């Protein structure tokens, strides 16, 4: 009988405890935020074209390479524009010096003396950079250079052949 009384008492306490309104749970305070600091931009890859190429440009940045096509500022219809196409490896990749690189140019509303270039036509061709310098003659108010470059970049583990298209307008 004593067990019955204990069980009844526990049941009564539980019943009374359940009818009470429990205090609302306290939400933990959010952690203090550190003062906002301006994000520092990542360091620029060594893909900046030479100083004379400061006009219109196109840049393709991938984890394994950076391809830049840039025109020198100040091109006029009377004087050819200097187009610089530059390829650099990114990260742990480098330019494959042995791959048969191919640069094809299609100049709309203008011309170039050599629309198809190979490794021998490069102004510089090393593991660090493949750079082509091509004069482009304007024939109208809006000359556009369309390009396609086939190349390969390599890491210590493997080489990756790539083909990329670009366009640069001469204003």
Q: Tens digits of per-residue pLDDT, 75-91?
A: 666 778 899 999 999 99
Q: Is residue 37 part of a domain?
A: no
User: How many structural domains is the chain composed of?
Assistant: 1
Q: Is residue 39 part of a domain?
A: no
Q: Is residue 95 part of a domain?
A: yes
CB–CB of 47/86 below 8 Å? yes
Q: Is residue 8 part of a domain?
A: no
Render pLDDT for 40-60 as a digit per residue (tens, 0 to 9).
Answer: 333 334 434 343 445 788 999
Q: Is residue 122 part of a domain?
A: yes
Q: Which residue stretches of the chain have pLDDT < 70?
A: 1-54, 73-77, 171
Neighbours of 67 (CB within 10 A): 22
Which structural domain, as residue segments, surrounds residue 96?
Answer: 57-170
- What CATH number should be reported for the domain holding residue 111? 2.60.40
Closest CA to 171 of 31, 73, 50, 62: 73
């Amino acid at each position: 009988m004593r067990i019955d009384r204990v069980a009844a008492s526990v049941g009564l306490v539980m019943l009374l405890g359940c009818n009470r309104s429990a205090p609302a749970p306290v939400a933990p305070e959010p952690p203090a935020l550190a003062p906002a600091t301006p994000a520092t931009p990542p360091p620029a890859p060594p893909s900046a074209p030479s100083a004379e190429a400061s006009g219109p440009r196109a840049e393709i940045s991938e984890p394994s390479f950076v391809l830049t096509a840039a025109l020198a500022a100040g091109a006029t219809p009377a004087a050819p524009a200097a187009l610089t196409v530059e390829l650099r490896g990114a990260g742990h990749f480098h330019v494959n010096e042995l791959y048969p690189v191919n640069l094809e140019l299609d100049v709309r509303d203008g011309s170039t003396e050599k629309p198809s270039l190979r490794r021998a036509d490069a102004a510089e061709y090393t593991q660090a950079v493949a750079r082509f310098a091509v004069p482009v003659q304007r024939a109208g108010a809006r000359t556009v250079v369309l390009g396609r470059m086939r190349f390969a970049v390599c890491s210590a583990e493997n080489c990756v052949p790539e083909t990329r298209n670009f366009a640069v307008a001469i204003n």
